Amino acid sequence: MHDSTTLLVEVGALLLLLGVLGRLSRRVGLSPIPLYLLAGLAFGHGGLLPLAASEEFFAVGAEIGVILLLVMLGLEYSANELVGNLRSAAPAGLIDGVFNALPGAAFALLLGWDWVAALVLGGITWVSSSGVIAKVLADLGRLGNRETPVILSVLVIEDLAMALYLPLVTAVLAGTGLLGGGIALAVAVGTVLLVLVVAIRYGHLISSALSAKDPEALLLGVLGLTLLIAGLAAKLQVSAAVGAFLVGIALSGPVAHHATELLSPLRDLFAAVFFVFFGLVTDPRDIPPVLLPALALAVVTMATKTLTGYLAARRVGIAEPGRWRAGLALVPRGEFSIVIAGLAVAAGSVEPRLAALAATYVLITVVTGPILARLPDFPWFKRWLRSRAAAQRPAPVPIHD
């Protein structure tokens, strides 16, 4: 009884604090994500007032938060839009891997770490945080922008790549050899293709099985289906985020519209829990020794990620402001980076400083990412873009009499 009452007190107090921080952040015109993370640091391991009873609750809530963020993103787009965007963004996905995985791997080798640590750190710096970016886009009202499908395509390609990367890196860390890694990879590929085919070909049947006229039944049905598919995908060594996203893609028509309205409050609640949990499990005492290396790595890979989004948006004809919005929105790393670092730590055979470096690196990008995403909205940035456009215009040819 004491444990349950302590849990209620801790969860209630922290959620109340998040409500205050969320209102404060909107008053000053900033995303609440950095404040949520700092709150987690204050009340997590090594913080000012560690909360022990509620950590398991926030761990489960954080997983649900990522899943809800991704299914809500999927609800914004149709299956045909997804396929078209993936085809057009395939070159951007390749550039993304080269520009962002190689710097992480090279950084590990420069630190004197082995090739396994380089493989792990390359994955950590490669993949952006779908959860953080989905929240930022929603907060800034950009879900309907022209560049948002480009951002989404890059994220989906990354998530699908993670469905192949995670089984492979798990096999390498476990030392199972090529056979074990090949089997894990084959299972992952088959699962992704199966879910994608079902979402595209039979999505209309799934939508027809869910009634948009009964809000309670619709909420329970969509939420249950999303958690089920995400859980099965994770069991098969595929990203739960990919499974949730494809459920959103599969739903269409009035069902998708009403599901968006019903799930929005739940998304906001559990998204806040996700960001707090990340802070809760990061010990502030581990940050100072690796702060400078993490900061250097963050500066380099934030620049390469911005360039990735900029080039991807330019390739499909997005105007200059949209290119910058796409590039800066992709800066935050998050859930996948922490998962990859966790796999390495659990294996016990990788450089011990990797966990602290990864946590500090992700924290830097998650705190600065939402702030950088707002840059294109500032008047001085718009003036700079206009001056660039004016400078790039060809000078008028003088007419001689």
Q: By the 8 A CB rule, do 270 and 339 touch? A: no
Q: What average pLDDT is seen over the chain?
A: 81
139 pLDDT more than 60: yes
pLDDT in tens, 172-190: 776 665 566 667 667 767 7
Q: By the 8 A CB rule, do 111 and 176 touch? A: no
Cα gap 285→272, rounded to integer Å = 23
pLDDT in tens, 57-87: 888 888 888 788 778 877 876 666 666 666 7
Quick one: pLDDT at residue 1? 46
Q: DSSP 3-state assignment of 144?
A: coil
User: Residue 5's closest CA among 67, 54, 41, 47?
Assistant: 54
Quick one: pLDDT at residue 395? 55
Q: DSSP 3-state assignment of 354?
A: helix
Quick one: pLDDT at residue 86? 66
Model pTM score:
0.70
Percent of the chain residues past pLDDT 90, beyond the cut: 16
User: According to the per-residue pLDDT averaged within each range, which of 11-15, 90-94, 101-105 is highest?
Assistant: 101-105
Cα gap 292→4, rounded to integer Å = 41
Quick one: pLDDT at residue 85? 62
pLDDT in tens, 344-355: 776 666 777 887
Cα gap 250→201, rounded to integer Å = 9
Least confident of 98-112, 170-184, 194-208, 266-280: 170-184
User: Residue 346's closest CA among 105, 174, 231?
Assistant: 174
Average pLDDT over every residue of 206-216:
77
Quick one: pLDDT at residue 132? 80
User: According to the per-residue pLDDT averaged within each range, which of 16-25, 44-53, 312-321, 322-331 is highest?
Assistant: 322-331
Band (pLDDT 50/70/90 cuts) for residue 326 is very high
Q: By the 8 A CB rule, do 338 and 130 touch? A: no
Band (pLDDT 50/70/90 cuts) for residue 163 is low
Count H helices, E strands: the chain?
A: 17, 0
Q: DSSP 3-state assignment of 204?
A: helix
306 pLDDT more than 80: yes
Q: To 10 degrees, the CA torsion angle through 265, 270, 273, 275?
A: -100
User: Residue 321's closest CA among 381, 392, 391, 394?
Assistant: 381
Percent of the chain residues past pLDDT 70, beyond the cut: 83
Band (pLDDT 50/70/90 cuts) for residue 328 is very high
Least confident of 51-60, 116-125, 191-200, 385-394: 191-200
Which residue, chain included where needed, has tokens 């149709």?
78
Tokens of 77: 């787009």
Q: To 10 degrees, the CA torsion angle through 56, 58, 61, 67?
A: -100
Tokens of 295: 């900061």
49 pLDDT more than 80: no
Cα gap 102→343, rounded to integer Å = 20
